[in-house]
Amino acid sequence: MDIASFVGMISGIALIIISILLNGPLSTYIDIPSVMITVGGTIASTLISYPLSKVLDSFKVMRFIFFNKPTDNGEIIKQIVSLANTARREGLLALEDIAENLEDPYLKKGILLVVDGTDPDLIRNIMETELDFLEDRHKQSQGVFETFATFAPAFGMIGTLIGLINMLKNLNDPSKVGPGMAVALITTFYGSLMAYLIFLPMARKLAYLTKEETLQKELMLEGILSIQSGENPRIIEEKLKAFLAPRVRESYDRKINTVQEGEYNVTKG
């Protein structure tokens, strides 16, 4: 669960509602025609921009914004180092049974290609092609949310123009000018709220998650090719630690040192 996404979304909506209630009734900001213009118009324009299947897929991706597993590249490094140790002791063929139990499909595919004796350049081409298509799929979903964010304020403005036209028709009745102006501005409020509190932040979060996943896959690929080339597990570990931020690298080293000290004490005892 991504706590930041939940806190950001809920607190943003809550603060807006509270600020409205402090200035008057919430019903003042509820207008069905305005909702129809902004929400309906935004969805319609997005459907014109993308195939229906891509729009539906993007809504499925929304769950990853709120329920994504945090990436732990340190655990991936430990897993790759363990595979390297096995390959060094027992040979590459010994990795086949282990690969079948790997949870990550990308890592599993790469190790099986190594076991099959695939040429290193071909492995890199295959894995990088898969990574490129993964990025493209994620960018399509990101693009759908960016399109929502682009059209929502525009249709908010269209709704405002419609409201102003209706208001100008009643200029001869001053009592209707104020309420008419309020209704005209509600659509702009809806459009801005949809764009800057919902759709644009979602697109940004998807872009961030894509970068995180891409970095993890690149780490895996480097580890896979290092295992195939028969590099020393210690060298592989040091090489892959370059993918970690300094703070994460320090945490990783502390964990490894703690484990090694525990194993030493058990052996000594």
Instruction: Say if residue 101 is exposed, middle or buried (CB neighbours under 10 Å; 0-12, 13-18, 19+).
Output: exposed
CA separation for the pair 221, 99 (Å, rounded): 14
Residue 116 gets which letter from DSSP? Answer: T
Instruction: Say if residue 31 is exposed, middle or buried (CB neighbours under 10 Å; 0-12, 13-18, 19+).
Output: buried
pLDDT of residue 162: 85
Per-residue pLDDT of the chain (269 residues; tens, 9 = 90+): 678 888 898 999 999 999 989 988 888 888 888 899 999 999 999 999 999 999 998 888 888 888 877 778 888 999 999 999 999 999 999 999 899 888 899 999 999 999 999 999 999 999 999 999 988 888 888 999 999 999 999 999 998 888 888 788 777 777 777 667 777 789 999 999 999 999 999 999 999 999 999 999 999 999 999 999 999 999 999 999 988 888 888 888 887 766 555 544 444 45
Closest CA to 161 of 46, 34, 20: 34
pLDDT of residue 205: 92
Residues 6+ apart with CB under 8 A from 121: none
Q: Say if CB 26 and CB 20 are below 8 A apart.
A: yes
pTM for the structure as a whole = 0.83
Residue ranges of domains in the chain: 31-64+89-228
